[in-house]
Structure 1
């Protein structure tokens, strides 16, 4: 049997050759892609580690003032992708985090984006306090507290880790910050930076309250 001047054996050999070449090219390409991806991820991880910058993470913290002391407690920590369920939203948060300064630690987010970005965080935080709201709906006794929520990326010392941070502080505390020029008792010396951030946030709240969302928590 002949096909375009080639007999059956020739056609079979040519087909096999093409299949083998295709497989080899695919395997080589996949291997190169895997190697590059691994190298790039390791490079990024190394850079983040030595720079102490993990701007692909967000940590939500509760800032409590009690008995003349500041206590900072973590509510949750997630990747930006887990909280801001949109690539453009993640990019906006990352850009705003990079734009913070020592004097202006609250993220400079465009006015039209503020509510939308903060609402992503508010929804994630609200999941942690569902039980209290169900109790309230059932007519059971609960304690209700209003918290102000805002986004920061504090610039701190070289030994500290820099992350995107969403902060919760009691609404009335932010309205009338109790330590405008003094310090409370601190659990750690570096929490002095947090007081400076909260002072800046309190001043900004009076001028641009739309940089904040108010979350009502029932417990």
Structure 2
């Protein structure tokens, strides 16, 4: 019986060896190209498959940047077509315009997906409010960017989270920076402040309870 199996295997290999060789070559080529692409992205510090929700504040005349969450883009938008679209659009941002150029009719859907992730982090505050417990309410703006200017260390899709009153009342001069590379974020804020006035559909207003 074993000999029969071996003969069948031998016959199969003899009859199908061109296809098998092609499969091996194609698999090796795909692995090589994927590895090369990953190395290139690492060298460029480009990680557009990641979405970072970045809280930007100005406290005591100091610009502060803090990460609220970071996740795989696919885990945020839950749709391969949406993921490919937002990644493609993120590649279209420029040094002078970091806002991701999402179509007006699609803005709410992308921003709402990020909002759901942010709201989950603050769910306890909403429960406390619902039970008449002490909470603090703050109004924020959310928008999607991909910064390229200055000394940005890594390129990611960044969902900017900033208090509405802060963006509407930015100081005339750049505040103190915790790190020199944060000058890029100040430039981004000045652009966002102007865009909020002219094209508010790029933003989503949200109320957070703490």
The match for 2:200 is: 209
**Structure 1 segment 57-72 matched on structure 2, within 5 A:** 57-72=50-65
Q: In the aligned structure 2, how far is the partner of 1:217 from the partner of 1:159?
A: 28
The match for 2:170 is: 178
The structural deviation recorded for 1:106 is 1.0
Q: In the aligned structure 1, how far is the partner of 2:84 from the partner of 2:50?
A: 13
1:191 aligned residue (167, 182, 191)? 182
The match for 1:160 is: 153
Q: Deviations over 1:174-202 (max 9, x none)?
A: 2x2322x4111110111111011111111
The structural deviation recorded for 1:41 is 2.4
Q: 1:143 to 1:20 in 2, by over 3 A?
A: same
TM-score after normalising by structure 2: 0.88
- Larger Rg belongs to: 1
| 5+ residue gaps, structure 1 | 1-10
The structural deviation recorded for 1:108 is 1.2
Q: 1:18 to 1:178 in 2, by over 3 A?
A: same
Query: Is 2:191 aligned against 1:200?
Result: yes
Q: In the aligned structure 1, how far is the partner of 2:150 from the partner of 2:57?
A: 23
Q: In the aligned structure 2, how far is the partner of 1:197 from the partner of 1:148?
A: 14
Q: 1:16 to 1:201 in 2, by over 3 A?
A: closer
Question: What is the RMSD computed on CA atoms of the aligned residues?
Answer: 2.4
| 5+ residue gaps, structure 2 | none
TM-score after normalising by structure 1: 0.85
